[in-house]
Structure 1
Amino acid sequence: MKILLSAFCLVCGLSFLSEKTLAQTKRYATTSGQTSFHSSTPAEDINAVNKKTQVLLDVTTGEMAVLMNMRDFDFPNELMEEHFNENYMESAKYPKATFKGKLDQPVDFSKNGTYQLSASGTFTVHGVSQSRSLQGTLTVQGDKISIDSTFDVALVDHKIEVPKIVFVKIAQIIEVKANYELAPYAR
């Protein structure tokens, strides 16, 4: 897991200036975060969940990175999953979705509690990056940190095309929910 998260830091561009800085940095991480989405139309509801989302949070700087493989989304049936990966997300060409950003306000990670939060950064899906500010809650409970967020993703913003024949079955704005349980991470 340590090797995977170290590589994840490099991929997402979270580089630090020196080993001394790394030693002073306190990070929390998970490789089993849950990201789900819901598409609702009068013709059909589509739900999928990815339970392998990787998240890294530096509580000293407020920097965070989220990485998920698009093929890790599980659907109610194989045909939906195939269409998602091949026709819409083009997962072979755009295998990952990421968010790289920073908490907009400081959080006192030494105190248990639930905090309203926002994080601003770059959200990349289907090869298209957008500046986003995402809202949610962050809960500190002992040595665990929970992050919960719900936000919308417009397909047009990420150049995700839906064929006209199934246009009425897929919402043009998708609701995304993120639920991440982070634990201390030591390099």
Structure 2
Amino acid sequence: MKYVLLLALGLLLHQTGFGQDIYTAKGAGISFFSSAPLEDIEAKTNKAVSAINIKTKVIYFKVPITSFEFEERLMQQHFNSTYLESDKYPDAEFKGKILEDVDLSVAGTYNVTVEGTLNLHGVDKTYREKGTISVSGNTLQLNAKFNVKLADHKVKIPTIVVKNIAEQVAVTVNATYTATAK
């Protein structure tokens, strides 16, 4: 009986500990920085969710727009009501694929290129960006930096504040993934 219990426990650990295809990140960090002649604007969130299938190399992100926090409350209010219209477009989503033939089940750090569609402010645009994924045990760490042109997503900047807000913002992504149970 003891051996049967040990065998069952071993099979359970093997099934949940190895060969996982889907890794998820809750509380992924996304920030953006806008540098304009009159002021710099920065906002951050740790409310993004993401998933990576390490077999198919498909990656997905979803970010609630209202979760971005600014130093000044008025900036946050304008960001949500005037620019990103978070009542109409509550989330930004990215659906893409890792292009390199990397084995994300093997420990190491991999330079990757991700190509996919970002839906922001109700507008889809294809991006092809570079990043790194570090694999250690049942954890993946993704880091990436890229630029988003606001006009590409029909985010309008009124001429009165054109010197306060950059036409393009630098986006930084940091996400830690763990294997999901089968």
1:101 aligns with 2:101: no
**Structure 2: which 5+ runs fail to align?**
1-18
Q: 2:120 — aligned with what?
A: 125
Task: Report Cα offsets for 1:17-61 as digits up to 9, x if no partner.
Answer: xxxxxxx86100011000000001121010000101100000111
2:135 to 134, 140, 144: 140
Q: 2:67 — aligned with what?
A: 72
1:82 to 74, 77, 87: 77
Q: 1:149 — aligned with what?
A: 144
1:166 to 147, 157, 161: 161
Q: How much does 1:113 deviate?
A: 1.0
Which TM-score applies when normalising by structure 1? 0.85
Q: How much does 1:109 deviate?
A: 2.0
Kindly report structure 1 stretches of 4+ aligned residues shifted beyond 2 Å: none
Q: What is the distance in 2 between the residues matched to 1:125 and 1:148?
A: 20
- Contact kept? 1:25, 1:60, Cα under 8 Å: no
The two structures, once aligned, show a CA RMSD in angstroms of 1.2
Q: What is the distance in 1 between the residues matched to 2:102 and 2:70?
A: 35
Task: Report Cα offsets for 1:125-171 as digits up to 9, x if no partner.
Answer: 00000111121111101111011000000011000001111110000
Q: How much does 1:119 deviate?
A: 1.0
- Contact kept? 1:117, 1:137, Cα under 8 Å: yes
- Contact kept? 1:57, 1:63, Cα under 8 Å: yes
Q: What is the distance in 1 between the residues matched to 2:105 and 2:120?
A: 34
Q: 1:7 — aligned with what?
A: none
Q: 1:48 — aligned with what?
A: 43
1:175 to 155, 170, 178: 170
Q: 2:32 — aligned with what?
A: 37
Q: What is the distance in 2 between the residues matched to 1:113 and 1:52?
A: 27
Task: Report Cα offsets for 1:80-104 as digits up to 9, x if no partner.
Answer: 1000000000000011101101110
Could you say what secondary structure the match of 2:28 adopts? strand
Which TM-score applies when normalising by structure 2? 0.87
Task: Report Cα offsets for 1:1-23 as digits up to 9, x if no partner.
Answer: xxxxxxxxxxxxxxxxxxxxxxx
**Structure 1: which 5+ runs fail to align?**
1-23
- Contact kept? 2:84, 2:121, Cα under 8 Å: yes
